[in-house]
Every structure is written in structure tokens, then in C-alpha cells.
Structure 1
């Protein structure tokens, strides 16, 4: 897998994941929607740590700075 996520993109994903998990664990959102949000947060955290987004690959998006 080739990295296709830049640092700004990774920070935004991590921020959104923390926000989703916070709403889930504080019982602001419960039930099926809460579990769905927790799952989305897990995917965002996983893609943040591996710096690769399969959806970006399919759409041809690359936010990672190119090395010369």
C-alpha cells in the first residue's frame, strides 16, 4: 500500500474520530446509530495510522506530499 494521506488529512480524521467516540461514550448518541458512529471512528483511526485510504485510491485522490 502506498501512502495517500497527508498530515493535515490525518489530523482531521483523528479529530473527527475522537468527536464521534466522545459522543458515543458519553451516551449522547445511543443504540444502532451510536454503534455505527463508533465503527466509523474505528475505520478513521485505522486509516489515520496506516496513512492509506482505500476510497482515495479508488477516486484517484492523493493528499500526501510527494518526495523528490
Structure 2
């Protein structure tokens, strides 16, 4: 796959992942919402590491410069 994420996009996703993990880990959100937060955080971390956002692909979006 062609990389389509720039450094700002990756940074924002990683920060969002940390916030979601912190909210779930501290019990601020619980139950199904905590599980969803962990899943979304994991997706954000993986997409940031590989610099590819599958949701951008069908629309031809790229935040790389």
C-alpha cells in the first residue's frame, strides 16, 4: 500500500490513542465504551506506525507532503 499519512496526522492519532487508553485505563469510561476506546486506540497506533489510513484510500486522500 502507498503511504498516505503525514507526520502531523500520525502525531494527532498517537495523541488521541494515548488519551483514549488513559480514559479507559483510569475507569473514566467503562464497559463497552472502554473496549471500543482500546480498539480505536489500537487502530490509531497501527495506522500511525505503517503510515497508511485505509479510510483515506477510496477517496484518494493523502496528508503526506
TM-score surpassing 0.5?
Answer: yes
| Distance in 1 of aligned mates of 2:38 and 2:16 | 11
Aligned residue for 1:40? 40
- CA RMSD between the two structures: 0.5
Partner deviation per Cα, 1:1-45 (whole Å, 9 max, x = no partner) = 110000000000000000000000011101001101110000000
Q: Which has the larger radius of gyration?
A: 1
Query: What stretches of structure 2 of length at least 5 have no aligned partner?
Result: none
Provide the TM-score with structure 2 as the length reference. 0.97
Matched residues, number: 65
Query: What stretches of structure 1 of length at least 5 have no aligned partner?
Result: none
Aligned residue for 1:26? 26
Provide the TM-score with structure 1 as the length reference. 0.92
